[in-house]
């Protein structure tokens, strides 16, 4: 530590040495502030509170945690100015210059009152910004600068330096963005100054730039450079129509407003024949039947069809009956199996006379196999039943690979 500094009234007295005991501190106060009757010795702690020094332990604590400027401990003194007669006795043995200095410092106080108790605080802009009041301001905190040339000089210097500092600070913060009504969810600062980092996953979760750089978060952030505010005024659009002109006399208005729902609907009920595991010989025909229902509010007009929208079929379109609402019908279509082996799916959908498609989509899936495989697996039962492989093969060929039709032809004897 580089010593101590006594603060009393507007005076500041710095001493190089630092006392180790409370009695030594009192001696230094008496030697350096002889024109005051000291009633209390205090120091300022880290919380800004003034703590009294009454013994050696208090002094040790003040040296440890007391406020310091450049290593110099600040000691605040409270007391009363001594009268002229008392000062004359207490200044015996001092040089003439010492007595003149003391009398000059106390001249203004003696003209107003013989004793002034310093138990208030006023702002001191020359040192550490602490507050002390004396009888010069009568507790108002306002002091006539003409009565204290030193105070006048300090105020003039502070005024000259204050505005350039404010201007420089404003220029430095000119480019800073203030995110109004936004709070950092890490450090709690509000509003956020500068860029705002909003979590891309969490709802209403923001970081300031410092927390975004130092705090780990499991999600990525969106950097918001400028603040977006809602408009001050919100305009609501209202539909307003001018009155329609009345038709001229002798003319008829043929325009009709249609308020009825004219949509056509079609829904799938169930499969009547065929399944997704049916095997079909390559290049042969295959039939599929669905049950469909008109689940709309309007009847299907004449000329509606079920068209293939993807896949192969012998017939381009299958006619649909004019079903009324909630009526059902079984619709059968014929497919052409591809020539290559594999699993194939074709999709179908209802269409009105104008070609506009409506309703749900239906489909059929088949497994295409080679003809020899079909004859080897599906005809074994017929060969065993009729004991004539050539006749069975001929029946299957005439039936286009349809096992049911070939069986009927064999039973009816209409193969040859």
Domain 4-143 has CATH 3.10.20.90: yes
364 pLDDT band, cuts 50/70/90, is confident
The CA–CA distances, whole Å, from 294 to 268, 285, 321, 357 equal: 9, 28, 10, 14
Task: Find the mean pLDDT for residues 302-309.
Answer: 90
* Residues of the chain above pLDDT 70, percent: 69
In CATH terms, the superfamily for domain 267-369 is Immunoglobulins (2.60.40.10)
Q: Which two tokens stand for residue 256?
A: 């009709």
pLDDT of residue 1: 66
Q: Closest Cα to residue 5, out of 34, 40, 43?
A: 43
Residue 265's pLDDT band, with cuts at 50, 70 and 90, is very high
Residue tagged 């049911």 (tokens): 404
Look at 158 and 302; give whichever has higher pLDDT. Answer: 302
Q: Are strands 357-369 and 278-281 parallel, antiparallel or unpaired?
A: parallel
Q: Where are the domains of the chain?
A: 4-143, 178-224, 267-369, 375-412
| 228-237 pLDDT tens trace | 555 556 666 6
pTM: 0.31
Considering 161-165, 218-222, 232-236, 312-316, the range whose residues carry the highest mean pLDDT is 218-222
Return the structure tokens found at 247: 């038709």
* Average pLDDT along the chain: 75
Q: What is the pLDDT of residue 341?
A: 86
Examine the pLDDT at 105 and tell me if it is beyond 70.
no
* Terminal C-alpha separation, the chain: 128
pLDDT in tens, 197-225: 999 988 889 999 889 888 888 888 998 87
Evaluate whether the domain defined by 178-224 bears CATH number 3.40.50.720.
Answer: no
Examine the pLDDT at 253 and tell me if it is beyond 60.
no
Give the mean model confidence (pLDDT) for residues 18-34.
84
> How much is the pLDDT for 193?
83
Average pLDDT over residues 153-178: 73
Half-sphere exposure of 229 (CA within 13 A, CB side): 9
**Averaged pLDDT, 331-336:** 85
Strand partners, 293: 267, 328
> What confidence category does residue 323 fall into, taking pLDDT thresholds of 50, 70 and 90?
very high
pLDDT at residue number 104: 47
Alpha carbon distance 246, 146 (integer Å)? 91
Residue 182: its pLDDT value, please? 86
Longest Cα pair distance anywhere in the chain, in angstroms? 158
Tokens representing 254 are: 């043929």
Residue 100 has pLDDT above 60, yes or no: no
């Amino acid at each position: 530590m580089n010593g101590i500094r006594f603060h009393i009234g507007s005076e500041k007295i710095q001493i190089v040495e630092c006392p180790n005991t409370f009695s030594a501190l009192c001696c230094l106060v008496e030697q350096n502030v002889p024109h005051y009757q000291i009633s209390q010795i205090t120091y300022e702690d880290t919380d800004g509170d003034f703590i009294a020094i009454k013994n050696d332990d208090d002094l040790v604590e003040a040296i440890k945690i007391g406020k310091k400027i450049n290593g110099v401990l600040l000691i605040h003194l409270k007391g009363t100015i001594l009268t002229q007669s008392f000062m004359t006795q207490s200044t015996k043995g001092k040089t003439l210059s010492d007595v003149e200095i003391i009398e000059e410092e106390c001249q203004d106080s003696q003209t107003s009152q013989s004793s002034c108790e310093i138990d208030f605080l006023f702002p001191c802009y020359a040192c550490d910004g602490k507050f002390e009041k004396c009888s010069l301001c009568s507790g108002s905190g306002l002091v006539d600068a003409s009565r204290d040339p030193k105070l006048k000089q300090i105020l003039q210097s502070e005024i000259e330096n204050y505005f350039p500092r404010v201007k420089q600070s404003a220029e430095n913060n000119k480019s800073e963005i203030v995110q109004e009504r936004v709070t950092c969810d890490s450090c709690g600062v509000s509003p956020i100054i500068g860029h705002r980092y909003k979590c891309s996953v969490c709802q209403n979760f923001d970081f300031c730039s410092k927390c975004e750089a130092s705090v780990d978060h499991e999600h990525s952030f969106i950097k918001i450079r400028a603040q977006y505010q809602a408009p001050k005024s919100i305009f609501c659009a209202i539909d307003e129509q001018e009155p329609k002109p009345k038709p001229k006399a002798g003319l008829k208005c043929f325009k009709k407003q249609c308020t009825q729902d004219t949509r056509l609907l079609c829904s799938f009920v169930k499969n009547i024949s065929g399944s997704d595991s049916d095997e079909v010989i390559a290049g042969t025909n295959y039939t599929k039947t669905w049950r469909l229902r008109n689940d709309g509010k309007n009847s299907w007009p004449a000329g509606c069809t079920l068209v293939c929208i993807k896949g192969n079929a012998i017939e381009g379109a299958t006619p649909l009956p004019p079903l009324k609402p909630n009526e059902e019908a079984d619709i059968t279509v014929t497919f052409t199996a591809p020539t290559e082996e594999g699993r194939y799916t074709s999709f179908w959908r209802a269409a009105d006379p104008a070609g506009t498609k409506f309703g749900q989509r239906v489909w059929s899936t088949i497994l295409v196999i080679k003809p020899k495989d079909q004859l080897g697996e599906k005809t074994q039962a017929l060969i065993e039943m009729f004991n004539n492989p050539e006749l069975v093969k001929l029946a299957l060929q005439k039936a286009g690979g349809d096992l049911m039709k070939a069986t009927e032809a064999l039973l009816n004897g209409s193969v040859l």
